[in-house]
Every structure is written in C-alpha cells, then in structure tokens.
Amino acid sequence: MATLTLSDAPQSVPNSNIGVVVGSDGIPFLYGYGVSAPTNGIKFKEDDAVLNYLGEYGLLWVWRGDSSHAKSISYFQSTTPLKVSLTDGLGNPINSLNGALNTHDADIHHSLVNNYFHYHTTTTTFATNAPAGSTQITLTSAVGFAQGDFLHIQDGGYEIVHPRINVLVGNVATLDRPLDNDYVIGDSIQKAILNMAVAGSLAAPISFKLIPNTGEIWHILTITIDMIHGTAGDNGLFGNLNPLTNGVALRFYNGTTGKFTTITNWHTNGGISLDMGGITYVFRSSGGGTYGTNAMGNFKDQMGSIVYINGLAGDYIEFLIQDNLTGLTSFRAKAQGHTEGA
C-alpha cells in the first residue's frame, strides 16, 4: 500500500534525484527520491506507485514552494508499477493488442488526386460561356477534335476527370458528364491523349505526364495500370506483346535540380508484378470480348514512401514509352493520392 504524510521539516535526498515541476495552479513543486518512509500516514491505493528515472521503485517527496506550504512535504511509497492510461481527445481509453498500441490513420485529407498520365495536342477555346453543370460546350474551332476524344480543361477551374466528347456536331460537343466548374469565353480546351499504346522509340520516346495543378503539391500513393489486348498475357510478355527492348520507364522530374530519377523500367508483365506486388490477367468473358492486364501498386506499402510532386517547383512524374506499343488495344495509367495540406 502507498502511504502519505505531511511533515514540518524537509528531508535530505540525493541531488541527482531532485527536480521541479509546476502545478496546475502555477505553484512549483520540488520533488525527490531517497528519503525514509514515515511510519504514520494516510494509505493510498496501490496504483499510486512511483518509478524514478533510474527504473527503481521508491519513496517520493514533494514540497510546495509557496508561502502557505513553505514546509509541507508529502511522502508516499509503493512496490507496484504505476498505471498510466492514454486517452483520445474525447477521453476514451486507447487500448493495445499484445502490448502493441492500437492506432489508425486519421481521415484528414479531402482534396483527392485521381489523374491519368496523359499529354496534350490540339488546343482551342470556349466560344460561349459554360457554367458548371453544362453537358454541351461550344468550341471556337473543332479542327483536330473528334467523338471519343478526352478534354483537358483547366482555366477557371480544374476538371479532375477528363470529360469525353460523346457527340460532336459542328463546333458543339456533347460531353459524357456535367462540368464541375464555370468557364467563360476564351478559356482553354486541350485534347488529352490518355492511351499510352503509341509508337515510341529510344530515339523518340513519348512522355505521358502527371503534373500538379498550378501552385499545388501532390502526394502520390498509388499507381494503377490497365491494358487491353487481343490475346492472353503472361509474365514473360508485356501485355500480350513480346518483351520490350527499351521498356516503359517511370521517372520523377525534380524541377528544382532539373534532374530525373528513374523509379522503374518495365520490359515485361513480370517486371510490373515485381514493383506492384502482383498482377491480374483478365480473360475474355464466355469466349467474347478482350483480354486484359491490370495491376495496382502502393508506394507507401511497397516502398515505405510516397512520390512528392511540388507543382510550385515544376516537378512531375512521367511514363516514358520507348517501344512500339500499338499492338495493344489500349494502355492507361492513373496516379492517386491527395493534395498536401488538404
């Protein structure tokens, strides 16, 4: 049992075990270990044990340094460990499993990144205002645009998901979804190429980039890929193509230093699987349709890190197509994460 008593005279203690702590009322306490336990006193529950910084259980005395308690010294002693309870902000106890502290990620991020790697070609502008919710827009010029094209729209707001042209009649394009933002005459519209099944080469690689919005910093946690092809794939192929000579390189560009860092370079599906932690081959349904190759890799889970892209510094990441991939029906990749601080 712990005991407590008040004495009119301070006790001597080893200097190495003396410290000062300020109470909730602003009055400093002088405390120490090593005094002899008094024989009389008030009993405390066994939870009130004291463990000093040397890991020894012993007696604690406390001296209130104000005028009304100038000579008050408190003692208590116990042989049981001190019980400490951790709680959350609402006072709920935080438990443990086999001695491991239970934790979870707080849901603090709400500004999503869910973007395709892509590049831009033809550019035009809005010929008329297009308020948020519009499903039809009028282009200043429709030359170079066609049904099925994806649009990159960033002026006046940013369309995270590229809208697709479902119908194009003259300069009027009907989209596959409502616009998220308001746009006015003169705002830019660009054709976005999402399909990476293109004819690249080592001498003339084709870059599909992921670039943060102006002024934003992105934390990329996950990359997903989707290939569609006419015959079955396996680990020795790329999709259903023969192993690539030069590969599909995933690179990070540091806008501050002007240097690239190659994260990986895929020549086969097996190489994708090694980086992503697995790969899935999709077979045709009931003998019809197409074959597919899909994978998802999480940088935080696989590598213990994220890809940090500072739009303020001109950073970006890219897939560099260095072989002819036109034998694939399509090859697309997405990056997912969140905006820093949101």
Alpha-carbon distance values, 176 to 124, 127, 137, 268, 321 (Å):
19, 19, 11, 34, 28
Give the pLDDT of residue 160: 84
Q: Is the pLDDT of residue 62 over 50?
A: no
Q: Per-residue pLDDT tens for 38-57?
A: 333 333 233 333 333 334 44
Q: Token pair of 265, please? A: 């370079």
Would you kindly state where each structural domain of the chain is located, as residue ranges? 2-84, 120-194, 195-342
What is the share, in percent, of the chain residues with pLDDT greater than 90? Answer: 57
Nearest alpha carbon to residue 226 among 171, 274, 314, 295: 295
Q: Are 220 and 298 in contact (CB under 8 A)?
A: no
CATH number of 120-194: 2.40.30
What single string gives the DSSP state of each residue in 177-231?
A: S--SS-B-TT-EEEEEE-----B--SSS-EEEEE-PPTT-EEEEEEEEEEEEESS
Long-range contacts, stretch 262-269, CB < 8 angstroms, 24+ apart = 263/307, 263/317, 266/238, 267/238, 267/243, 268/235, 268/236, 268/237, 268/238, 268/243, 268/244, 269/233, 269/234, 269/235, 269/236, 269/237, 269/238, 269/239, 269/293
What's the CA gap between 194 and 205, in Å, rounded?
16
What single string gives the DSSP state of each residue in 82-150?
A: PP---B-TTSPBP-EETTEEP--------SEEEEE-BEEEEEEEBSS-B-TT-SEEEBS--TT--TT-E
Give the pLDDT of residue 58: 43
Alpha-carbon distance values, 217 to 70, 114, 200, 314, 325 (Å):
57, 14, 30, 10, 32
Q: What is the DSSP letter of 333?
A: E
Question: What average pLDDT does the segment 81-97 reach?
Answer: 64
What's the CA gap between 142 and 172, in Å, rounded?
8
Question: What average pLDDT does the segment 290-319 reach?
Answer: 91
Residue 26 burial (C-beta neighbours within 10 Å; 0-12, 13-18, 19+)? exposed
Q: Is the pLDDT of residue 36 over 50?
A: no
Specify the amino acid at residue 129: N
Give the pLDDT of residue 84: 56
Specify the amino acid at residue 170: G
Pairing of strands 73-76, 2-7: antiparallel
Q: Token pair of 5, please? A: 């008593």
- List all residues 6 or more positions away from 92 whose beta carbon is below 8 Å from its beta carbon: none
Q: Per-residue pLDDT tens for 151-210?
A: 999 887 788 899 999 999 999 999 999 999 999 999 999 999 999 999 999 999 999 999
- Which H or E run includes 270? helix 269-276
Give the pLDDT of residue 189: 95
Q: Which residue has the tokens 């510094």?
A: 313
Q: Is the pLDDT of residue 81 over 90?
A: no
pLDDT confidence tier of residue 109, bands split at 50, 70 and 90: confident
What is the share, in percent, of the chain residues with pLDDT greater than 70? Answer: 68
Mean pLDDT, the chain, integer: 79
Q: Per-residue pLDDT tens for 231-285?
A: 999 999 999 999 999 999 999 999 999 999 999 999 999 999 999 999 999 887 7
Rounded to 5 degrees, what are φ and ψ at 201?
-155, 170
